[in-house]
């Protein structure tokens, strides 16, 4: 692997931004590129990026709102040979770049641990990781990484309101390309489970995945997700 580009889509994450950027400086010092894609934040994130963080990031991209559109916009400006898509509330494991470099597959993801109050979250994470190994489908919470050339061949993330990560993985599976399932864990926020209730959120996510598998549009599912 040559250069790694880390792409983070943002929407109203000003409170998280300084810690997020600080956590990625080790990667930058080892040659990785950091691109943040803002989808029209109204919480002061753009001002923070312009005034306080320009020396600690490589690019700040303004994009139409929507995680897929934001990630695609940043990917178009990235210079790395590999792209790593990271949620703003997710922390990479130490040496993530070296772990990716050791892979022989053309794309992959990390195991996930969910940080939150609910006692159900360890089980949720375990199920996510096992399901991903079994199906070859990864979610954005698991920090998907992919060869830049392969990502471009696929046309990037599909322009849809939800399940863009699932759809990308389905297209990779159609090419018989299974992911590298790294055991190292990213730590992602369990705030959605904590705020909405763990069991309620688990049921909702399974319902959405079932409805998507049955052919319901991502736009209709996004309404239920909100």
> Which residue did the predictor score with more confidence, 91 or 2?
91
Non-local CB neighbours of 54 within 8 Å, separated by 6+ positions: 60
> Which residue did the predictor score with more confidence, 171 or 204?
171
What's residue 89's pLDDT? 93
Q: pTM of this prediction? A: 0.91
Q: Helices 121-135 & 198-213, crossing angle to 10 degrees? A: 20
3-state secondary structure of 61: strand
Is 131's pLDDT higher than 80? yes
Contact 90, 187 (CB under 8 A): yes
Cα–Cα distance measured from residue 207 to residue 109, given in angstroms and rounded to the nearest whole number: 23
Is 107's pLDDT higher than 70? yes
Is 218's pLDDT higher than 70? no
Q: Output b/e per residue, 69-104; b: 16+ Cβ within 10 A.
A: bbbbbbbeebebebbbbbbbbbbbbeebbebbeebe
Is 170's pLDDT higher than 80? yes
Q: What is the dihedral of CA 112, 118, 120, 124, to 10 degrees?
A: -30
What's residue 217's pLDDT? 72
Q: Write down the mean pLDDT value for the chain.
A: 90
């Amino acid at each position: 692997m040559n250069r790694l580009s880390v792409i983070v889509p943002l929407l109203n994450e000003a409170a998280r931004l300084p810690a997020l950027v600080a956590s990625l400086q080790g990667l930058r010092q080892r040659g990785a590129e950091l691109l943040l894609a803002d989808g029209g934040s109204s919480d002061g994130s753009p001002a923070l990026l312009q005034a306080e963080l320009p020396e600690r990031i490589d690019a700040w991209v303004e994009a139409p709102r929507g995680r897929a559109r934001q990630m695609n916009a940043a990917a178009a400006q990235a210079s790395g040979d590999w792209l790593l898509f990271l949620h703003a509330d997710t922390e990479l494991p130490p040496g993530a770049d070296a772990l990716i470099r050791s892979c022989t597959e053309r794309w992959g993801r990390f195991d996930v641990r969910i940080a939150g109050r609910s006692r159900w979250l360890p089980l949720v994470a375990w199920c996510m990781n096992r399901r991903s190994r079994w199906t070859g489908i990864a979610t954005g919470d698991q920090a998907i990484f992919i060869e830049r050339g392969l990502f471009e061949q696929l046309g990037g993330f599909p322009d849809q309101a939800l399940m863009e990560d699932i759809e990308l993985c389905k297209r990779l599976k159609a090419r018989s390309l299974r992911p590298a399932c790294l055991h190292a864990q990213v730590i992602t926020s369990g705030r959605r489970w904590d705020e909405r209730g763990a069991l309620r959120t688990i049921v909702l996510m399974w319902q959405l995945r079932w409805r998507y598998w049955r052919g319901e549009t991502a736009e209709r599912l996004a309404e239920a997700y909100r």
